Amino acid sequence: MLKIGITGGIGSGKSTISKIFEILGIPVYYADDRAKDILVRDPQLAAQVKQHFGEAVYNADGSLNRKYLGNIVFNNKEKLELLNSLVHPATIRDSDEWALQQHAPYVLKEAALLFETSSFHHLDKIIAVFAPQPLRVHRVMKRDNITRNEVMARIYKQIDETIKMRLSDFVIHNDEQHMIIPQVLAIHEQLLALSAGQ
């Protein structure tokens, strides 16, 4: 079974594109959602996070205090790298275990940070979702109800979009100028052919 990564900058629409692949019957591992789950579900990881970021990272009911943690890591590069160094290995293990349980020609791993971490080494091909920065900023401001400066702070934490596009095997343009479905179907057909040839 092929393992395919799907990535793109914040606000590029990678989750929306992933939902289209799901409609085509392709299982999708949403790395950010699973990472949040692992942060709560994995006692060893939770203990490490508390040790480095304080008890306030978790609410009284054991759930993750995302706003508190976000305020720490999005304004401090070293803290973000530390958090990633704890979470990413656990997420990679979890995604590998998840993939073994799927029954499809290929699976998708949707993640904002594939090239920024070692995650892309575990994948056969990468799909990048591209949208111009002004559109991405607008989408995230509206979606997360945050300021332009807060969005830009997050964008600066990710590698440049042009580099991401060059490193990827496929690019989907989600810029409100190109039709999405034909692009997804074309890639889907190519991936089906690749998986059949394994």
Query: What predicted TM-score, i.e. pTM, was given to this entire model?
Result: 0.86
Q: Are the C-beta atoms of residues 95 and 123 closer than 8 Å to each other?
A: no
- Model pLDDT, residue 117: 76
b/e 178-189 (16+ beta carbons within 10 angstroms → b): eebeebbeebbe
- Model pLDDT, residue 122: 85
Secondary structure letter of residue 134 according to DSSP:
H
How many angstroms separate the most distant Cα atoms in the chain? 51
Place of tokens 């995604």: 95
How far, in Å, CA of 113 to CA of 120, rounded? 9
How far, in Å, CA of 42 to CA of 27, rounded? 23
**Mean pLDDT, the chain cut into blocks of 10 residues (198 residues total):** 94 95 97 91 92 94 91 86 90 91 96 82 94 94 92 84 92 95 98 92
- CA separation, residue 106 to residues 61, 148, 193 (Å): 37, 37, 11
Within 8-152, strands assigned E span 28-30, 106-110, 125-130
Question: Rounded to an integer, what is the distance from CA 82 to the centroid of its chain?
Answer: 18
- Model pLDDT, residue 136: 94
Which of 35, 118, 24 lies closest to 70, judged by CA?
A: 35
Q: Which residues contact 185 (CB under 8 A, 6 or more apart)?
A: 24
Tokens of 115: 């090239």
- Model pLDDT, residue 114: 85
